[in-house]
Amino acid sequence: MVYKKFAVAVLAAAVGACAQLETAPDTGIASDATEIDASISQASEEISRNILQSAEPALPPSDIWERLRRGFTLQRELKRDKVQDYVNYFSSNQGYMSRVTERSRRYIFHVAEQLEQANVPLEFALLPVVESAYDPFAYSHAQASGMWQFIPATGRSFGLHQNWWYDGRRDVVESTRAASEYFNYLAAKFDGDWLLVLAAYNAGEGTVRRAIERNKRRGKGTSFWDLKLPRETRSYVPQLLALAEVVAHPEKYQVPLHNVDNSPYYAVVNVGSQIDLAQASELAGIEVKELHLLNPGYNRWATDPNGNHRLLIPADKREQFMEKLATLPADQRVTWQRYKVARGDSLSVIARRYETTIAAIQQTNKLRGSNIRAGQTLLIPSASGPNAEYAYAIDQRVNRRQSSGSGRKTSYTVRPGDTLWGIARTMNVKVRELASWNSMAPGDTLRPGRKLVAYNSGGSSSEQQSRTTRKLSYRVRNGDSLYRIARKFRIDISDIVRWNKINKKTYLQPGQRLTLFVDSAASG
């Protein structure tokens, strides 16, 4: 660009000189030409000096937004109605833009770093705004989780481990790595067309591929704008382009962007062993909430005992944390409780009571199997602080969600064979509502013993039930059992026993009549 400006300037000087020659009188042409040559030479020297000054390395951007602007490469297609609609939306929602950019301050520098290293356009650093409003704890009804909203299967495909203790889809570093790899994978599939990459990230590679093949057969174009894609995807890409436009010109659109320095917010520390997050926050001199926001991948009160032991610590607290950690032996980084096994106890019951896993108890106590005996003493890893201190642990988030509804609150304990759909029918609520109140997705696996809550507005439970249930006389068929009938009609075995005054252990006889009260929509 500098050399182009130099060529234009020299050309302009030459044109000016020629103009002077054409208008000069015949006498003294030689002397005039000499003066003009000197002027051109002087102008050239001045331009050369400017070039040398301009050729010096540009100063690094002082804030993250300027850094992103320098890395923007996508055409923003402002003449398209959908893009313009979203530009208007973002520019008229200044409060939202202020909140979401403030929320991004812990992460966006590091996201930009990883995307740059992966040669991904920096517009993609704004994608978590579209996906999750930069909330690493975001969870959708499609089972998508984290800033980048990975579903479980795709997350595992890109190395994001998920277990009771840890969910890599919420891990800031790991999920951004996986997203970068996924973007480049899609870019290779779609010949570097980044708009198709965005579309495939949202709708799936197969959906976009089929839309392209369909257009090819019909002799139509195959750019994003030509394809017939799901409605959400047709809005998804314009939304990111509009967001980039607003970030590129915040003054023009009067959009406040939270001030975020172009410098690291956190440092990565390998702790080397499991550690209680409350204890780690104390070592770092920060609130547990701040540690959870930097390490949202950890589901519980501590790091994964069998996984990696990496913690993100605010950059200015790293040295203090490392010094204090060095003086704390590994066996003192988690609190242990002694538990005397009672009659009827099992490892699963004990693990659930102390919010840990069977594997953690087995590993700690060097147990090869699940057999334990009454009177035996076990060491149980447990949280050092009260539950409220681990506000972002998954159990506490679920509890807050379960308390957020309005109306009459009812609860249900999951039994073997239950489905969320069946429980929703029993509780007379919608599946999506039930999932939302319990921080779940409709397709999540139900664990027997888990307590679910629901909220009903207006009317007594008997009034609500009378509107959705009906009495049915059912004839027992060959192969039927109480369990099978209960599953078929999405009712409880205990209810069948109570309605028919039979023993739960009684064998059913073909032809036997049972009285059932079933949901009218579930009875077929």
Q: Are 313 and 265 in contact (CB under 8 A)?
A: no
The half-sphere exposure of 149 on its side-chain side, counting CA atoms within 13 A, is: 18
Q: Are 114 and 180 in contact (CB under 8 A)?
A: yes
Q: What is the mean pLDDT of the chain?
A: 81
Catalytic residue among 77, 102, 116, 131: 131
Question: pLDDT at position 381, please?
Answer: 76
Give me the architecture of the 335-383 domain, per CATH: Roll (3.10)
pLDDT digits 0-9 by tens, 72-91: 999 999 999 999 999 999 99
* Three-state SS at 397: helix
Question: pLDDT at position 364, please?
Answer: 79
DSSP codes joined into one string, 72-91: --S---TTSHHHHHHHHHHH
Q: Give CATH 3.10.350.10 domain extents, the chain.
A: 335-383, 403-458, 464-519
Read off the pLDDT band of 385 (50, 70, 90): low
Q: Which of 81-85, 293-297, 406-410 has the lowest mean pLDDT?
A: 406-410
Q: Of the CATH numbers 3.40.50.700, 3.10.350.10, 1.10.3720.10, 3.50.50.60, which one belongs to the domain with range 403-458?
A: 3.10.350.10
Read off the pLDDT band of 254 (50, 70, 90): very high
* Mean pLDDT on 170-195: 97
Assigned CATH topology for domain 64-253 = Lysozyme (1.10.530)
Give the residue from 291, 293, 271 showing the smallest Cα distance to 282. Answer: 291
pLDDT digits 0-9 by tens, 449-481: 778 888 775 444 444 444 345 677 888 888 778
pTM above 0.85, yes or no: no
pLDDT digits 0-9 by tens, 419-443: 877 888 777 888 777 877 776 666 6
Question: pLDDT at position 405, please?
Answer: 57
Measure the CA–CA gap between 481 and 495, rounded to whole angstroms.
Answer: 14
Active-site annotation holds for 131: yes
Assigned CATH topology for domain 464-519 = Membrane-bound Lytic Murein Transglycosylase D; Chain A (3.10.350)
Measure the CA–CA gap between 501 and 481, rounded to whole angstroms.
Answer: 16
Read off the pLDDT band of 499 (50, 70, 90): confident
What is the residue type of 48?
Answer: S
Question: pLDDT at position 524, please?
Answer: 37
- Name the residue with higher pLDDT: 307 or 372: 372
Q: Which of 11-25, 124-138, 149-163, 404-418 has the lowest mean pLDDT?
A: 11-25
Residue 358 confidence (pLDDT) above 70: yes
- Name the residue with higher pLDDT: 211 or 164: 211
Q: Give CATH 1.10.530.10 domain extents, the chain.
A: 64-253
Residue 521 confidence (pLDDT) above 60: no
Question: How close are the terminal C-alpha atoms of the chain, in Å?
Answer: 72
Measure the CA–CA gap between 305 and 359, rounded to whole angstroms.
Answer: 9
